[in-house]
Each structure stands twice: as structure tokens, then as C-alpha cells.
Structure 1
Amino acid sequence: MMGDEFAFHFNLVHGRCVGVCIPTEVDDRLLDVLFPEERTLVSALAPARRPSWVAGRIALRQAFRDLGLEPGPILMNRHGAPDLPPDLAGSISHKKTLAVGLAARAENRTCLGVDLEDIPPLPASVEEARAQARPDIRARVLTKDELAQLERVPEQARRRQVLLHFSLKEALYKALHPLVIRHVGFHEASVTPLPDGGVRVTLSLSEDQGTFDAECTWTEIQRHFLTTAKVRRR
């Protein structure tokens, strides 16, 4: 794979992150960098899904290799997440033009999540902000406390804030799922993004699920929110 197809390589609090520009199609040159098992899986995917799937695997594998680790073929488990060796933790996300992989060693059964969301442009007026807010996903994504906090955000910046909360909870869900093996709803976590990229996280899972230490981070890169989560069972 040519180096100019890598959008970035850098370290985040929760691991090594690599971004890959999603190709318009998967040609023989890209297939050659995959393991045979991965090529077999790609051939069974719908053509429209192949470019992002391949870019995500390339991103995650390179993130591991940047750490001196070799994950081998990165297939899918029965939940659709990357199927990795037990001593490795990783996650993939993508939007239309960019795929990212987050990688680290899995210490103490630590699980990772990463999410990528397009940052909408700031509207020029309150009227434009209200028009752009449709469909309104606030009630689905935000808890009552988060909705109250949103009222203190200038109206023109609220859509961005809602999407940042959405992204953080998506990353958190990816990190939680291997530990609870069920759907985690948006209202089962409360997040407060901080200006320095940190996040206050409160989980509201049922007691029979156990207790967890959960962390999230956020940053902006190439007009995207890039969010990460790290979760381990206490």
C-alpha cells in the first residue's frame, strides 16, 4: 500500500491510532496487502461495503504494527467487531472518506472503542441552526441531565455538541459490548466532554452486569470528531 493513502499516525491516550483514506474501489493492489482469509471475507461483502472494510483493516493492522505487534488476519466476530487475539485490543470506525483503527495491548481484559463522525459546519444564524437540527436526535442520544446541560450551549453550537455526545457513546458502546454482550443504550451512559479532550463518564448499567472503569477522550481531526473509549471490569 502506498504511503500517501495513510492520512495520519499518532498516539492517543488509549492507544495507537492510524487513519486511512478510503479508496473508491478495491483493486488487486489493495487485495494483495490482505491475508487470504481476509480476501475471502471481502469477496462475500457487498461491493459498496468493500472499500471501507478494507481500509479499516489496513488502518488497524498498521496501528498494531506501529506498536511492534502483529495481529494476523483481522476477521469479524459474530457481532461484527474485529476478531483479535486475546492479548490485543482494537477498534475500527469509518465515515465516507476516512477509516481509523485504534490499537493497544489488552491489559487486564481492557477493551477499546473508537468512533469517527463528520463535524457539521457552524450555522451562520439561529434560524439556520434550527433548520440543520433536523432530524432531532437529542432525546434519543442525551440523558435528562445532558439535555439540561445542552440548554446552556449557544444554539448555533448545539448540533455539534449532540454529535460529539453521540460519537463518545458509540465509542463507549464498542468498548463495553465485549464485556456485557448486549446492546447498551444511549441513556445508560452520561458523558461530559471537557475542553482539554478529556471526558467525565458515568455508567448506569444494571447491577447484575458488574462494575466497570470507563474512560473516554475526544479530539478533532480533518473535520471529524475522533472519540475513543477504554473500559475494563473492576
Structure 2
Amino acid sequence: MTSHAEEPPLTVDELAARAGVTVRTVRFYSTRGLLPPPVIGPRRVGHYGAEHLARLALIEELQHQGMTLAGIERYLRQLPPDLSDRDLAIHRAVVASWAPETVETVSRDELARRAGRTLGDDEVDRLVAMDVVRPDGDGYRVDLGLLRLGVRLLDVPVSQEAIMAAREVLIEHSRAAAHELARLLRGEVAERDAQDARSLSAHMQPLVVQALLTTFQRSLREELGEWLSSSRPV
């Protein structure tokens, strides 16, 4: 499990408080295998990290999307076991994108509060470039499902121009993939009644998102691995 030096380990009580759940819920998820075991420290005290917190947030988002406990278990079992908290945050952001009401208009102060940090003008500009927030009068329309991920990306040493170019690439190819997947699903539900079609769509959406995201992560890891290997001096 990846740990971050700037974030001290959490006790089960601290983890539950940060995640907004009860200790009983944390232990229940652990017994069901939804959370990896903690690191046992001195005095047999379990220590939890950022990955546990991110996994709890993902579980909560899947619940908000109406997925059953069995469905959540299947979803998490199919994830790579070594995902970092950043990887899990990406999964949560993508799952949250299915939610119909994730955009709010907030003030600059409220935007900073939701982000959990002070935001300079250049940082707000980067969030705008990533289409996480949009100026709206005296405030900002913010996609709450993507805000946490966008704030994490603020610390990545990439120029705003590169972010905008990357966004255009992702939009172009994701729309093409979405078009083909929608065509396949339309063929699948064509012979079903409206209720069955809606049910199939609701269950398929998070699974399709997971498949796309996992495939993209693996492909990107391979591409970056090949690039780093070729750039090493012989």
C-alpha cells in the first residue's frame, strides 16, 4: 500500500470520522473484503492510510449511484489490488460523473473551502482549464465530483497549455468510444421494454466506466514505461 509522508496514519476512529461513517461500518467493510487490512503498529493498533479513505469515498459514491453491496463487491474485486489513493480518486470521479446533480455555483471562498486549501488566481485558472470549475457571475460553477481530483492535479508539474491539450485529446477519443458503446447498448436493449432498458443501462454504466478506466490506465502505464525505457542512457 502506498503511503504519503505528509499524511500521518489514521486510527480506525480517525478514519471513520474523516470518511463520515461509523467505526462499525469500517469494520463491516473490512470483514467483507471491501477494505484492505490496516498496518498493525505498536500496541496492536491498526493504522489506516489515504488509500483506505479513498476507497471508502469510492464505496460511498457507488452507493449513491444505487449499486447494491454485492455489486460494489464485484466492482472492487475487479480493480487492480495496488491502486493508490490517486487512482481510486480517479475511479470515484468517473463514477460520480453519472450523477445528475453534481454541479453547484459557489463563491470564491466556498470554492476554496470545498477544495480544502487556499486557491490562488493561477490555480483557479488551471481548474478552469481542466473544466472542473467555470466562472459564473461573481462565483464559480463547480463540478463537485471532479473537484477533489482537480485539486490533486494542481500539484502536478504540468503547464496549463498541456492540460488543455490533454483535455482535448481525452474529449475527442472518449466521445468516439462513447458513441460506439452507446450503439452496442442500443442494439442490446432494442428488444426489451422501457423498464428493462433503463435497468440494464443503470447497471451497465459503472461497469463500462470501470472497464474503460482500467484499460486506459494500463495502456498509459505501458506507454509511459516504454517512453521511460527508451529515454534511459544505454
**Where is the helix percentage greater, Structure 1 or Structure 2?**
2
Q: Greater RCO between the two (CA within 8 Å, min separation 6)?
A: 1
* TM-score normalized with structure 1 length: 0.34
Larger Rg: 2
Q: Select the structure that is richer in strand.
A: 1
The alignment's TM-score, normalised by the length of structure 2, stands at 0.34
